[in-house]
Structure formats: structure tokens, C-alpha cells
Amino acid sequence: MPTDWLGGLAAGRDEWLAAGLAAGLPAGLADGFGVRPCVVSVMPADHTRVWYGRLVHMYDAHMTESARQRLLDALVTVIAERGLDQASIREVAAAAGVSIGTVQYYCRSKDEMLRTAFEYVTGHILDRAAGTERTGTVASVLRGALLEFLPLDDTRRLEAKVYLAFAARAAVSPDLASVQQGMMTELRGRCADAFRLAQSRGEAADDLDPEQAAVATAALVDGLLLHLLTDPTGLGPEAAVAVLDTHLARHLDVRAAHRSARP
């Protein structure tokens, strides 16, 4: 029986189940990735089987924490480098160094795998934006958050490539469209909250309409992302940031905004 269960993720859970069969476990315990064996699934009188059942349960828990993240990272990389059409279960498994069965344990189909990846990327972008500096003027905080959506470094560029690939596919995929709509709704909502806060603090233009400004801001950021990736000679990073700053200056006090956000 394998002994390095904490480090041997590449071996795959199927090998552990095979080892259980060799030890005399009933076939139903090794019924594939749709079954999560645990101690209650085996004969408690047989200490070998009880130990193995616990070990598989522990392995499942470890896989949930680490292998899923490993698969998601591999999936995002494959999509960014090769596109959605090349993101097959086989390709992702190879990139992650796991078995095809391990991928299918988390995603039963390619469609489910793609939706999972889209949710992961959009959620990661939104979380990173929410984690930016929260001190200073409303303009400085909002500017810092919005810059996280733009492909201004390697990490954000990779995520933006994946996001853009999915956003294009969302036009013909209701399942992906729901993820896209969820992200844009969240972005518009956060922008509207920021503009309303600026109004309450006296940091906004007198004629500011928070809802309308939020819609325009979300659309601008989405467009800047597109042009930075597809027309980098026509719109470079510095020019894109300048466009965003000009837009915010129409609505907010931006005098302190530039000092707190990274490019």
C-alpha cells in the first residue's frame, strides 16, 4: 500500500482504492470518484479495513484542500496559453500532473469544468479588488480596486486572458453568461456604493448620479481590459491608467488618488 499519501498526489486516488481492493475491501468501496468511502462503509471488525477506510477519508480531505487548487491553477494556465477549445479534461489532468479521474472527481464534464474556471477567475479578481488599500479618499480606494481588473502585470494579464476568453463565449452560452452577468453586477454595485459614499463625504461632483456613473465605470474598465490585451500598441498600460484617472476625475475628488494605488 502507498505510504506517502500526503505528498503523492500525482499518483491519484484510484491507486489508493486499488490498494484497498488488494487488501480485501468490497468492490463497492472502490466504485470510482463518485463514492467517498469512510469508516462506516467498511466492516468495523476488520482493523485493516477500518484503517484503510480512515486513510482514504483523510486522503479525500487533503485532495479537497490542495488538489482542487492545483487543478484550478492548471486549468487557468491551459486556457490562458491555449484557449478554451484546448482545455480538455485530458489536457488539464496532464498540466496538473494528476489522473483524468481526479479531474472528473471535481468536474464531471468539460462544461462544468469551464464554468468552474470562470467562477474561479472572476471570484479571484473581485476578491483581490476587495482586498486593496481602504484608507484615503473614496477616489483613491476606488482607483486602487479598479486597477486590479486591468492586465498591468503577469498575474493580472493571465487572469484577464482567461476572463476575456470566457466573456466572448458567454455571448452564446447561457451558463457562462450567468457568471459574466454576476461579475458585472457585483462590479457595478461596488462602484455605485463608492460613488454614494463619496457623495456623503462631500468628495463627489455636484451632478453625480451614482448608478449611472457605476455603469459607465464598469463598462470602461471592461473595455480597457479588452484593448490592453488585443491592441497593446494602440493602448498601453500608462495610457489606460490615464483614461481611468480622467474618468474618475469627472465624478470624484482625485487629488489624493494617485498616491495610494499600485499601477
pLDDT of residue 255: 60
Per residue of the chain (263 residues), what is the pLDDT tens digit?
333 323 333 344 455 455 544 544 444 433 333 333 333 344 444 444 444 444 444 444 444 557 778 888 888 999 988 888 888 888 888 888 888 888 888 888 888 888 989 999 999 999 999 999 888 899 999 999 999 999 999 999 999 999 999 999 999 999 999 999 999 999 999 999 999 999 999 999 999 999 999 999 999 999 999 999 999 999 999 999 999 999 999 999 866 444 445 56
Count of CB atoms situated within 10 Å of the CB of 242: 11
Where do the domains of the chain lie?
9-108, 111-259
pLDDT of residue 15: 54
pTM exceeding the 0.75 threshold for the entire prediction: no
Count of CB atoms situated within 10 Å of the CB of 157: 15
Give backbone dihedrals phi and psi of 131, rounded to 5 degrees, phi first: -95, 10
Alpha-carbon distance 128 to 105, whole Å?
28
pLDDT of residue 242: 97
pLDDT of residue 22: 53
Residue 252's DSSP bridge partners are 204
pLDDT of residue 85: 86
CATH of 111-259, one of 1.10.287.70, 2.40.70.10, 1.10.357.10, 3.10.129.10: 1.10.357.10
Count of CB atoms situated within 10 Å of the CB of 169: 17
As given in the structure block, the three cell numbers for residue 11 are 499518483
pLDDT of residue 141: 94
Burial of 238 (0-12, 13-18, 19+ CB in 10 A): exposed
Tell me the residue ranges of DSSP E strands in the chain: none
